[in-house]
């Protein structure tokens, strides 16, 4: 008797459960909403659209403005048989180059470094002013010879390099050529650095 009652209850429970499932299935079909997944895994979500703003400004095509790089050391020493030079025979050239370079930077190179054209007012009268600084290389060359420094020593070539750079600057002023302003400035500085190195080695 007890077994019959248990079977009857179980059958009733199955029918009730089947009815609930049918109702749920019908409700799902009417609303068009899929039934929850049995595994409990949440449905995939669509990531929000990116709100990043893409720049439409084209990159600059202007070439970078060059900068000066000092020349490497040449490891110079005083020539054999030459006593340490008292005083600095290169001083006249170094002094003239210094004032030339200061004037060149203030009048021309400072504009070129900013990517600006040199104003017409800066070119006017510059040729005569720069020519006053050309005598120092000749005086320094004579002083080196008086000190017994052989002409094969690099200081003579450095003086020639410096003189060439200063005269090139005067040619640029005549042509008012903005494109050559920085190359002349770098040539002046390189010749100056070379001359300081070669003359300093004579003192040691």
Report the distance separating Cα 130 and Cα 99, nearest Å.
Answer: 9
Strand, coil or helix: 79: coil
Q: Across the chain, what does the average pLDDT equal?
A: 79
pLDDT in the model for residue 61: 61
pLDDT band at 64 (very low <50, low <70, confident <90, very high): confident
pLDDT in the model for residue 86: 81
Would the CA dihedral through 7, 13, 17, 20 be positive or negative?
A: positive
Please write the tens of the pLDDT for every residue from 160-204: 999 999 999 999 999 999 999 999 999 999 999 999 999 999 998
CB within 8 Å of 16: residues ≥ 6 apart: none
Residue with tokens 């990517």: 115
Q: Which of 79, 67, 76, 199 is nearest to 148 (CA)?
A: 79
Q: Which of 203, 196, 204, 200 is nearest to 93 (CA)?
A: 196
């Amino acid at each position: 008797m007890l077994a019959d009652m248990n079977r009857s209850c179980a059958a009733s429970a199955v029918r009730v459960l089947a009815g609930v499932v049918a109702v749920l299935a019908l409700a799902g079909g009417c609303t068009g909403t899929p039934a929850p997944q049995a595994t409990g895994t949440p449905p995939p979500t669509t990531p929000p659209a990116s709100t990043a703003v893409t720049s439409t400004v084209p990159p600059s095509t202007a070439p970078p403005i060059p900068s000066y790089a000092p020349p490497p050391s040449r490891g110079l020493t005083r020539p054999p048989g030459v006593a340490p030079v008292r005083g600095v025979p290169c001083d006249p050239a170094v002094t003239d180059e210094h004032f030339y370079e200061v004037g060149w930077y203030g009048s021309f190179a400072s504009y070129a470094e900013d990517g600006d054209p040199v104003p017409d007012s800066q070119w006017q009268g510059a040729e005569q002013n720069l020519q006053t600084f050309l005598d120092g290389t000749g005086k320094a060359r004579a002083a080196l010879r008086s000190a017994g420094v052989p002409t094969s020593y690099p200081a003579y070539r450095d003086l020639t390099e410096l003189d060439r750079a200063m005269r090139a600057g005067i040619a640029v002023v005549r042509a008012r050529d903005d494109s050559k302003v920085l190359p002349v400035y770098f040539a002046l500085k390189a010749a100056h650095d070379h001359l300081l190195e070669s003359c300093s080695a004579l003192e040691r």
